[in-house]
């Protein structure tokens, strides 16, 4: 193939990547806010069903449901992975440190 030639498969992949890139860029502020919230730890309100004892997120619980017993706030632990990803994107990934190895002296090889 000539230099710079792109197959239809390559062109299709590039078009898909560009379409995805545009979708992500359009939602960049919301995505960043969600990553920040995940890095800090998420909180949500739950209720406990009196009959089953099952915890239900308040947003999922039906309004006026009289089987709810207590209300608790649960917290998801902060995500180290989300924090690391945010820092790598914001400040660049730390460079891998090269290990300095100093070799001195001579090598003597003898044939027995």
- Phi and psi at 35, nearest 5°, equal -65, -40
Residues paired with 14 in a beta bridge: none
The model's pLDDT over 41-96, given as tens digits with 9 standing for 90+, comes to: 777 788 888 888 888 877 655 455 555 555 667 677 777 787 788 777 776 777 77
For the full predicted model, state whether its pTM sits above 0.75: no
Distance in angstroms (rounded) separating the CA atoms of residues 80 and 22: 28
Distance in angstroms (rounded) separating the CA atoms of residues 57 and 109: 73
DSSP 1-27: --TT---HHHHHHHHHHHHHHHHHHHT
Model confidence band, residue 9 (pLDDT cutoffs 50, 70, 90): very high
Domain positions in the chain are 10-91
Sign of the Cα torsion 89, 91, 92, 93 reads negative
């Amino acid at each position: 193939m000539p230099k710079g030639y792109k197959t239809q498969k390559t062109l299709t992949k590039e078009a898909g990547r560009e379409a995805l890139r545009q979708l992500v860029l359009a939602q960049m502020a919301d995505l960043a806010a969600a990553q920040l919230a995940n890095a800090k730890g998420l909180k949500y309100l739950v209720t406990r069903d009196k009959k089953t004892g099952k915890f239900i997120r308040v947003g999922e619980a039906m309004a006026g449901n009289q089987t709810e017993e207590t209300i608790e706030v649960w917290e998801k632990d902060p995500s180290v992975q989300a924090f690391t990803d945010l820092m790598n994107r914001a400040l660049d990934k730390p460079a891998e440190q090269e290990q300095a190895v100093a070799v001195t002296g001579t090598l003597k090889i003898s044939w027995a």
